[in-house]
Homo-oligomer: A and B are copies of this chain.
């Protein structure tokens, strides 16, 4: 049985007249008669009663037509749905990201993406760089934002683009002597109780701090350890010490604290966006477009790797 048979049966039921139904279908009457006859033979039951008053579905015909109309609706919807999926208007995007990405690029990116693609299901998974790398290679994520490029087996199949530079800054209570300074020096920091974070991704931050404060790790050894940047800021606000963290901390609005640059300027690993090189999903493309629009500094780098979606 072909969709044609369904279309013809539905048209015949609607017009109750072979000639008019055929005209509406853009064919002549004899082919319609034949197709309906073939259909009735295949189904094994008479579907229409031909009377002088018109053509009416039998009980079997009524039952058939219910299904036929539904099938035709599904077929029409198939093309529509496929088109929407192909344009990236529907679908799913699984995003892995480090917690600190929630401070700066993600709020703008996610709200914009959600506005542009309301029917795309966003799956957000906060995870460390190492896990993002594994999940991307395993196909469990579509895109990831990590601290530094993904590492490990299979990363050669990934495209990675830096989307944000970062460096160490300090955060202090507004009443703290350093609060008025434009920047604080490493020497000044060495004389203060310090607050640093201890997330899974923090080895790189700790390494940066070692570079800043010198190999004498005794200062760091005595530091207060916080689980995330919000805790660092909270502790700094309460005055127990000087917080050290990524410059992205500035994005957290918090009265009672002040942020200071640190000299010498101490770079942290770039925030990196990665995805499978062979993934040409239109939803991913749309997401990359939003990244490009929201992170103007890295637009060029992205353009080098992939073409624009639009």
What mask results when residues 36 to 64 of chain A are scored 1 for a CB within 8 Å of chain B, else 0? Answer: 00000011111100000000001111111
Segment of A81-89, A126-134, A147-155, A256-264 engaged in the interface with chain B:
A81-89
Interface-lining segment among A66-74, A110-118, A182-190:
A66-74
Answer yes or no: A310 CB below 8 A from chain B CBs.
Answer: no
Separation of A164 and B42 alpha carbons in the complex (Å): 42
> Which one of A1-9, A202-210, A228-236, A300-308 is at the B interface?
A1-9
Query: Does A78 belong to the interface (CB within 8 Å)?
Result: yes
Size of the A side of the interface (Cβ < 8 Å), in residues, is: 41
- Which of B47, B60, B67 is in CB contact (< 8 Å) with A74? B67
Chain B residues near A218 (CB-CB < 8 A): none
A260 to chain B, nearest CB (A): 47
Residues of B within 8 A of A6 (CB): 75, 78
Flag if B82 contacts A43 (CB, 8 Å).
yes
A90: Cβ under 8 A from any B Cβ: yes
B3 touches A83 (CB 8 A): no
What mask results when residues 213 to 234 of chain A are scored 1 for a CB within 8 Å of chain B, else 0?
A: 0000000000000000000000
